[in-house]
Amino acid sequence: MPRSVKGKSAIVTGGGSGINLEFVRILLQNGCNVVIGDLTLRPEAEELIKEHTGNPKALFHKTNVASWDNLYTLFKTAETEFGTFDIVCPGAGIFEPPFSGFWNPPGSEASRDDIHGDRFLSIDVNLVHPIRATQLAISHFLSSSKPASKDDLKTVVHISSIAGEGNFTPVAIYSTTKWGLRGFIYSMAEIEETRHVRVAGVAPGVVRTPLWLEHDDKRRMCVGEDEKEQGEWTTPEEVAQVMYKICTEDQVANAKGELVPIRGGSLIEVINGDVRDVPMYGNQPPGTGTDAKGLFILNPMEAWKGMNAAVEKPGWGKV
């Protein structure tokens, strides 16, 4: 029997667009209040908030997820508005942007990472923020007026990637953060049984979101020489549906009708029309045992071109 989210509340970072926006939409459709933490909202997110001013309610709190103060304030906003919260999705992420990527090191023209700043924004957003948000979530779940219990399971749902199952040199930091997030999810497995908090995640293939279609350097990776967009994508909606099942069910069906278990520490690969469990040990390549559609970008050489152009600049990486 699925667990209902009606009357519950959620925090979703990155909920202003893409996969996270679709997750917000599903939560609202099922009666769950949502606080969106993001820097900006796309028009469709603004419209969704306008449509939900009652019960359930959606609201936006401007949040820089790389700031721990901002994260703390976001969580306090949810407490103030709804009294408590039951679901946290630290979904905000960035895909090796020129301003914070391995091949544009601090001090280079494209980078915004301070050469004396002791950090990469990409790592702060993609790895540090989900870990810190999970700490804040568990702290609340254990001490709220309605604490986590066997009959009231709380959930933290993360978004990893198939990039955390392999390697792709042009996006070295992104892949590293997703490997790290994968390990973190596995490390949280036991607290579902001991503390009644499920920490689990999804590992999508290439998802048709504005990240790919509205940034020229990324768009070129997804079109052929004829400028036609690749035909096989994973959709935001199907990823969000699996995220919802992580919050409400203990299994999800794959394309063959087989049931894939969901539990604390689960990482569920989501690719065009299919799912599979990503095991901690003995994992096979992404898509193994599935129809393997929507897995990879159409034109990966574009990523290599960008990397090589950066590396070949005189004095690359010198301070």
Question: Does residue 290 fall inside a structural domain?
Answer: yes
Residue 177 lies in a domain: yes
Q: How, if at all, do strands 154-159 and 197-204 pair?
A: parallel
For residue 231, being part of any structural domain is answered with yes
Report yes or no: 87 and 5 within 8 Å, Cβ to Cβ: yes
- Using a 10 angstrom Cβ sphere, with 0-12 exposed, 13-18 middle and 19 or more buried, the burial of residue 121 is buried
Q: Does residue 109 belong to any structural domain of this protein?
A: yes
The residue among 192, 208, 202, 123 whose CA lies nearest residue 161 is 202
Please name the residues in contact with 206: beta carbons below 8 A apart, sequence gap of 6 or more. Answer: 212, 222, 230, 233, 234, 294, 295, 296, 297
Say which residues have a Cβ less than 8 Å from residue 250's Cβ, sequence separation at least 6: 261, 262, 263
Residue 25 counted as domain residue: yes
Q: What is the pLDDT of residue 119?
A: 96
CA dihedral 179, 182, 187, 191 (to 10 degrees): 160
Question: Domain tally for the chain?
Answer: 1
Residue 288: the pLDDT is: 80
pLDDT computed for residue 204 by the predictor:
95
CA dihedral (279, 284, 290, 294) in degrees, to 10, reads 100
Q: What is the pLDDT along the chain (319 residues), one digit of tens a residue?
A: 789 999 999 999 999 999 999 999 999 999 999 999 999 999 999 999 999 999 999 999 999 999 999 999 999 999 999 999 999 999 999 999 999 999 999 999 999 999 999 999 999 999 999 999 999 999 999 998 788 888 899 999 999 999 999 999 999 999 999 999 999 999 999 999 999 999 999 999 988 887 777 777 777 777 666 556 656 788 999 999 999 999 999 999 999 999 999 999 999 999 988 999 999 999 988 888 776 666 677 778 888 898 999 999 999 998 7
**Residue-range definition of the domain harbouring residue 230:** 9-311
The confidence score (pLDDT) of residue 247 equals 98
pLDDT of residue 170: 93
pLDDT of residue 158: 99
Please report whether residue 266 resides in a domain: yes
Length of the chain: 319
Share of the chain above pLDDT 70, in %: 95
The two beta strands, 259-261 and 251-253, are: antiparallel
pLDDT, tens digit, for every residue of 105-130? 999 999 999 999 999 999 999 999 99
Using a 10 angstrom Cβ sphere, with 0-12 exposed, 13-18 middle and 19 or more buried, the burial of residue 77 is middle
Establish if 2 belongs to a structural domain.
no
| Domain membership flag for residue 140 | yes
**DSSP-assigned letters across all residues of 6-57:** TT-EEEEETTTSHHHHHHHHHHHHTT-EEEEEES---HHHHHHHHT-BSSSB
Kindly report the CATH number assigned to the domain that includes residue 177. Answer: 3.40.50.720
3-state SS string for 135-202: HHHHHHHHHCCCCCECCECEEEEEECCHHHHCCCHHHHHHHHHHHHHHHHHHHCCCHHHHHCEEEEEE
Q: What is the pTM of this model?
A: 0.94
Q: What is the pLDDT of residues 218-234, one digit of tens each?
A: 777 776 665 566 567 88
